[in-house]
Structure 1
Amino acid sequence: MTLANSAMAVDQKRGPVTNLPLPRYVSLKANEGNVRRGPSLTHRIDWVFTRRDMPLEITAEHGHWRRVQDRDGAGGWVHYALLSGARTVLVEQDMAPLHDRPDAASPVDAALELGVVARLGECTLDWCKVSAGGYKGWIEKTAVWGVDKDEIRE
C-alpha cells in the first residue's frame, strides 16, 4: 500500500464534515426525529423515530445531515440538531442482569427488560456500566446494542 492509499483509507473512516470516526454511535436528542430519504428538507420523510435517547449509528455525513440506522438497520438521513453525543444502549436480552462488578459471579442488583434504553458509562472488552430506571450496574456487552464489541470506554 502506498502512502497515498494509506491516507485515503484513513480518510474513508472519518466523517468528511466532523472528522469523527465512521461509523459511530449517538442518541436521539428529540422526542421525534424525521428520517428522510436524502440529506435535505426537500427529501421525503420515510418515517419518524419517536423514542428519545434511542441509540443510533451514524454511517455517513453530508453538511448538517447524518445518515443513521437503528439496531434493525432501519434508517435514513436526520438533521444533526436532533442527535446527541450522549451515549446510550438498547438492551437486547430479556431480563439482562446488572452486576455489582464486571464479573458474572458478582451479585446481581437488578435485571433490565428487553428494549430498555440505558445510559452508557465505562466499558471493558466484555462489560459496560449502564444506568436505567434508577438502577446502575455492569451488563455484559453481548446483551446490548449501541457499543462496538472491541470498544473500551473510561
Structure 2
Amino acid sequence: MTRKKNHYMVRLLSVLMCILVTPAGANEQVALGKSGYPVPRFVSLAKDTVNVRTGPDRQYPIKWVFKKKGLPVKVIAEYGEWRKFVDSEGATGWVWGALVSSRRTALVLDQNLALYEKANRDSDVSVVAEGGVIGELLECRKDWCRLDIQGFRGWAHRKSIWGTLEGEELD
C-alpha cells in the first residue's frame, strides 16, 4: 500500500471509530481512551476525600482537595491510571483512576429546582431540590433526565443539572 493510501486508510478508520463510539445525538466528539472507555465521559468521585493534582502522577503537587463523594466530573483525558477532568465550575486537574467511579450522578445547578413526575413542566412536581445537591442519574431522554435524590425521584431539565454530555441518552 502506498504512503498516500495508507494515510487515507488511517484517517478513514479514525472517522469510523468516532462514529461508532459517539452516543446517539451527541454533539461532542467521543473517542476511546487508553482505559477502553469513551473520552469525554462523566464519572463521579468514589471517595470522601480526593486529591486533585497538577499532573498525572503523585510527584505533581496537589491543586486542591475535593470533600464530596459522588460529585460528577467530566473525564477529558487519560494517562495510564490517571484521569484528567473538568468540574462543574470549569476547573481542571488530574486524579488517580481508583478515586473515581463509573456510577452516574448529577449536580443540581439551579436553586430550588423542581423535579417533575414526568419529563415535562406540565406534570406534577415530585420534589424540589436545592442547588448543590447530588442525585443519582437514572436515565436521560432528549432534554430531560430522571434523578433519584435521597429516595425522591423526578425529572429535571438537562440544562439545570451537571453530569451529562450534550445529547447523551441513558437508560
Q: TM-score if structure 2 supplies the norm length?
A: 0.84
1:114 maps to 2:131: yes
How far is 1:71 from its partner? 0.6
The gaps in structure 2 that reach 5 residues or longer are: 1-6, 19-28
Aligned residues with identical type, % of pairs: 34
1:90 maps to 2:90: no
SS state at 1:61 partner: strand
Distance 2:148 2:42 in 1: 17
Per-residue CA distance 1:71-116 (angstroms, 9 max, x = gap):
1111211000000000001111111111111121111011111111
The aligned length equals: 154
Partners of 2:33 and 2:39 within 8 A in 1: no
- Structure 1 or 2, whichever has the larger Rg, is 2
1:48 maps to 2:54: no
1:132 maps to 2:128: no
Q: CA RMSD in A?
A: 1.7
Counterpart for residue 150 of structure 1:
167
Which moved further from structure 2: 25-34 or 135-144?
135-144
Distance 2:74 2:105 in 1: 11
Partners of 1:56 and 1:69 within 8 A in 2: yes
Runs of 4+ in structure 1 over 4 Å off: none
The equivalent position to 2:84 in structure 1, one of 46, 60, 67, is 67
Distance 1:34 1:55 in 2: 15
The gaps in structure 1 that reach 5 residues or longer are: none
